[in-house]
């Protein structure tokens, strides 16, 4: 798929901007702080319902405005669609498809698909497990948009179960009446059912991504690998060998039973996909804590390129976004990466200076300056 038109109102630094887009490569060039990343961030938002830079919507709304609108015309094969999201911080966001009546924001997932690589991705390697869980879950959702529903069900069940555990912990501390544990059993089953679904999808994703990540790392940093992806689950190492969702469900329920006493003491859910991590291995060591800055950067890029490969191979080609990538690379790696991505259906690149964009990425160029986006 590709985006044929992007239109923003009160998004970040833009009061209004209209950007017609072609398939192939488009480069946005301009000095720092001019609004290049803001443009690609908006495209990424349509694909994930989130920003790659901030976890809340408030900073996405232009200072002084009270809502932002992102609109995109999208073409996939013969089919064209118009998607629109209105961001209302503190209130529910709204969504529309083809100007018809409102749909839930999550219903637009799958129309715009992106793989976005940005300097913030260094946190994938160096940051907390939450960064890697988000990476996995966004990719799981890109492969299968219905997983957005599973993810939000999981969040809801987890929250309610935690509330219940918290009141149990309080009652226990204050010597109150002990809780009716059958209620907790019901929540265990909910958590087990939804959690097993999420676990199964993550495990399948990692198995599929592993060889692609290893290959991508070799492309980005020849001879620097191998790269291994290993899921580390709070449920236990046995999740790796589970063959069915039923088995995962059973393991999760058993793990919850094992920690129930601690959970009631502490008032939080201690096992489940929300406590898991993806261990990124490089030459037999965890990249986090061991890899150099350059290696970590290459690793993050390799994960994104592998994601791109995966989504392409599964049918619907995503838009590849490379935000500020080329300046980090030496000339040889720059050319390699450019050759790798040049055949993509749509590639959006940002760079501070024209010379950073490799020659093989000929295509449309826009100059971005003080919120003006001008075709060159």
Ligand X SMILES: Nc1ncnc2c1ncn2[C@@H]1O[C@H](COP(=O)(O)OP(=O)(O)O)[C@@H](O)[C@H]1O
Stretch that binds ligand X, among 54-62, 139-147, 173-181, 255-263 (CB under 6 A): 54-62
- Of 154 and 366, which CB lies nearer to Mg ion in the complex structure? 366
CB of 19 to Mg ion, least distance (A): 16
Backbone φ/ψ region at 49: left (φ over 0), alpha (ψ -120 to 50), beta = left
Contact 209, 310 (CB under 8 A): yes
- Which is nearest to 213 in space by CA: 301, 122, 311, 294? 301
- Of 46 and 196, which CB lies nearer to ligand X in the complex structure? 46
- Token couple for 189: 């089953």
Q: Which helix H or strand E contains 99, and what residues bound it? A: none
Residue 38 makes contact with ligand X by CB under 6 A: yes
- Which is nearest to 39 in space by CA: 78, 11, 63? 11
* 31 assigned binding-site residue: yes
Which position has the token pair 């039973």?
257
- Token couple for 29: 């060039």
Per partner kind, with CB cut-offs from 5 to 8 A, the member of Mg ion, ligand X, none near residue 13 is ligand X
CB of 10 to ligand X, least distance (A): 8
Contact 371, 35 (CB under 8 A): yes
Does a cis peptide bond (omega within 30 degrees of 0) precede residue 226?
yes
Q: Draw the binding track, 334-353, toward ligand X (x: CB under 6 A; -: no contact).
A: ----------------x---
Residue 52 makes contact with ligand X by CB under 6 A: no
- C-alpha 50: how far from chain center: 8
- Token couple for 303: 């994960």
- Of 40 and 140, which CB lies nearer to ligand X in the complex structure? 40
Residue 51 makes contact with ligand X by CB under 6 A: no
- Of 11 and 249, which CB lies nearer to ligand X in the complex structure? 11
CB of 36 to ligand X, least distance (A): 3
* 261 assigned binding-site residue: no
Q: Which residues of the shown chain bind ligand X in the complex (CB under 6 A)?
A: 12-13, 30, 32-38, 59, 61-63, 350, 368
């Amino acid at each position: 798929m590709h985006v044929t038109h992007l239109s923003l109102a009160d998004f970040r630094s833009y009061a209004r901007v209209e950007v017609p887009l072609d398939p192939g490569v488009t480069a946005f060039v301009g000095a720092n702080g001019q609004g290049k990343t803001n443009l690609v961030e908006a495209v990424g938002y349509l694909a994930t319902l989130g920003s790659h830079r901030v976890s809340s919507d408030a900073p996405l709304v232009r200072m002084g405005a009270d809502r932002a609108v992102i609109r995109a015309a999208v073409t996939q094969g013969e089919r064209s669609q118009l998607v629109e999201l209105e961001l209302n911080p503190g209130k529910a966001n709204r969504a529309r498809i083809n100007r018809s009546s409102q749909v839930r924001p999550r219903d637009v997932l799958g129309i715009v698909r992106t793989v976005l690589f940005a300097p913030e991705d260094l946190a994938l390697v160096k940051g907390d497990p939450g960064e890697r869980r988000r990476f996995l879950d966004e990719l799981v959702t890109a492969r299968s948009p219905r997983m957005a529903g599973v993810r939000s069900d999981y969040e809801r069940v987890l929250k309610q179960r935690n509330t219940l555990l918290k009141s149990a912990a309080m009652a226990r501390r204050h010597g109150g009446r002990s809780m009716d544990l059958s209620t907790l059993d019901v929540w265990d089953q909910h958590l087990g059912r939804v959690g097993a679904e999420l676990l199964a999808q993550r495990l399948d994703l990692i198995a599929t991504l592993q060889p692609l990540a290893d290959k991508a790392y070799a492309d980005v940093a020849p001879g620097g690998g191998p790269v291994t992806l290993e899921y580390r689950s709070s449920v236990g190492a046995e999740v790796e060998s589970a063959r069915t969702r039923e088995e995962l469900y059973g393991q999760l329920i058993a793990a919850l039973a094992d920690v129930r006493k601690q959970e009631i003491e502490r008032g939080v859910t201690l096992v489940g996909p929300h406590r898991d991590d993806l261990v990124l291995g490089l030459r037999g060591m965890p990249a986090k804590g061991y890899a150099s800055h350059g290696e970590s950067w290459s690793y993050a890029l390799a994960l994104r390129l592998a994601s791109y490969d995966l989504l392409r191979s599964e049918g619907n080609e995503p838009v590849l976004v490379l935000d500020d990538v080329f300046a980090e690379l030496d000339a040889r790696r720059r050319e390699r990466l450019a050759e790798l991505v040049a055949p993509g259906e749509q590639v959006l690149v940002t760079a501070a200076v024209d010379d950073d964009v490799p020659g093989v990425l000929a295509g449309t160029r826009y100059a971005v300056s003080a919120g003006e986006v001008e075709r060159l």
